[in-house]
Amino acid sequence: MSLSEGALYACYRRMEKPLYNVLYRWLWQAQDCQDTVHDAFMRIWEKRASVDETKLDNLVWMTALNLARNRLRWRALWRFAEPVGDATATAEDDLLEAASRRQQDASLRAALVTLPSAMRQVLLLSEFGGLGIAEIAQVLGIPPGTVGSRKHQALARLRAQLKEEIP
Amino acid sequence: MNKIHSADWHEMLDPPVGGLARLIDAVEIAHASRSRWRPAVALVGASAAIVFCAVFGFAWQVHHNSPEYRFRHALEAALRPAAPAQGIQVENGAALEISSTDPNVRIYWIAQLPGAASKPREY
């Protein structure tokens, strides 16, 4: 039971985008998200001798979510919890797109902040991580029924917050 | 609060480029740093083992050359049941012959267990 470099890189290619999208809706900073994804894979690489490749995806999710939680705690500790904007996006996109992105981010962030943490995690993993109910249940260590009900409640609350029809 | 469209809500963002290259570099650096430190760690370990052996050996030698140890060792040998005849036997104790310059004089160091009363018996 050991993780090969090839499997690690293949997993990175497969999971980078969903991971990034989940983390972005949690940390709201592109650089922090990229660092968290990177750190999660490096943590796993350091423990490669005991990593089961068949459970690699779950391990990546769990590690990344734990690291994101730690980052949020760290920010709260240093009072950096307020949004600081996203320099990467601003540099890359033109000004109108960046302004539009910030507005969307602000709306979604405001809505997500009102959700309890447990519901928010389920919603992000489901909507941005592309995980099914059974996979989320494994990653979070909760029963599939709980995942379903949390997702349903989270979507209902988000719908009310955004006052918009969400499919 | 600003309204956002459902399509925007579900929009999947592209991560910043270079993430995989960064990971590959970090893994290679981790490999390189491990192989760079391995000889140094081995050298330190070997040095520590040599120092430990030297210190332990010296302490062992000092201990075994101490008068207390030698006397205790001789006493234990004298107390062994199958000890060869020494010319004197002490009940509930032991007699240790001490070298004498006069061949006609024999000197013994006699030790007895507490409370034991016996006389030296000569053969």
Based on the fold, state whether residues B58 and B71 are members of the same structural domain.
Answer: no
Find the closest chain A residue to B1 by CA distance: A107
Chain A contact for B2 (CB, 8 A cutoff): yes
Q: Does domain A92-167 have CATH number 3.30.310.10?
A: no
Within a domain: residue B5? no
- Chain B residues with CB under 8 Å of A88 CB are 16
Find the domain containing B21 and state its range: 16-63
CA distance B47 to chain A (A): 28
A136 token code pair: 């989320």
Of the candidates B63, B86, B101, which is a domain's last residue?
B63
Q: Is the pLDDT of residue A17 over 50?
A: yes
What b/e readout covers A68-100, taking b as 16+ CB neighbours within 10 angstroms?
Answer: beebbeebeeeeeeeeeebeebbeeeeeeebee
CB A55 within 8 Å of CB A27: no
- Chain A residues with CB under 8 Å of B20 CB are 9, 12-13, 16
| pTM (global) more than 0.90 | no
Q: For A49-74, what is the mean pLDDT?
A: 91
Domain boundaries, chain A: 1-83, 92-167
More confident residue, A113 or B26: B26
pLDDT class of B119 with cuts at 50, 70, 90: low
ipTM over 0.90: no
Chain A contact for B7 (CB, 8 A cutoff): no
Class of domain A1-83: mainly alpha
Averaged pLDDT score across all residues of chain B:
79
Tens digits of per-residue pLDDT, A137-164? Answer: 999 999 999 999 999 999 888 888 877 5
Residues A40, A38: Cα–Cα separation, whole Å: 5
Best A25, A41, A51, A105 member to test B by mutation, with max B CBs in 10 Å, is A41
Best B5, B10, B14, B23 member to test A by mutation, with max A CBs in 10 Å, is B23
Within a domain: residue B11? no
B57 torsion bin: left (phi>0), alpha (psi -120 to 50), beta (else): alpha
Based on the fold, state whether residues B84 and B108 are members of the same structural domain.
Answer: yes
Based on the fold, state whether residues B70 and B105 are members of the same structural domain.
Answer: yes
Of the candidates A103, A126, A117, A99, the residue with the CA atom closest to the CA atom of residue A21: A126
Number of domains in chain B: 2
